[in-house]
Amino acid sequence: MGRERLIFLETLQDTLAFGEKVARTLAPNSILALSGDLGAGKTSFVQGLARGLKIKEMVQSPTFVTLNLYEAPLPLFHFDLYRLKEGMDFLRLGFDEYFRKGGVCAIEWPERIEAILPEETLWITFSHTNEGGRIAAVGTKKRR
């Protein structure tokens, strides 16, 4: 990972607010790679992101469907690649087309497709703290 900025998120409300704040900075075709263990805050962040994008629907983890679409002036394409067997499946399903559909791609478990993510992808890695909160490390991955 290149230069990172650490954001301390003590509560669920902090995670939601962080998502809202990030949403206000995004342009069409933004790609967010959301990494971290189960329960680390990825979906909560996306819920805040949706609020910031003025999406009224309740955002849920798309674990069993891979992709949830949320309409808004700046639409949200929420991927959960946990069950994806290999990166080529993402391409075979045509999901890479969403990178250029004018919305925001929020991708949970992006490591599955790391090799095909555009260089300008914003990586946010969530982890638990010993105090019960979370840390979000924000940055871009260096290409080898």
* Domain residue limits, the chain: 10-93
Q: What is the dihedral of CA 56, 60, 64, 67, to 10 degrees?
A: 50
How many other CB atoms are there within 10 angstroms of residue 26's CB atom? 19
CB-count exposure of residue 39 (10 Å: 0-12, 13-18, 19+): exposed
pLDDT of residue 63: 66
How does pLDDT run along the chain (144 residues), one tens digit per residue? 457 899 999 999 999 999 999 999 999 999 999 999 888 899 999 999 999 999 989 888 766 788 999 999 999 999 999 888 888 899 999 999 999 999 999 999 999 999 999 999 999 999 998 888 899 999 977 543
Q: What CATH superfamily classification does 10-93 receive? A: P-loop containing nucleotide triphosphate hydrolases (3.40.50.300)
pTM here is: 0.91
pLDDT of residue 26: 97
- Give the integer Cα–Cα distance in Å for 81 and 112: 7
- Cα 76 to chain centroid, rounded: 10
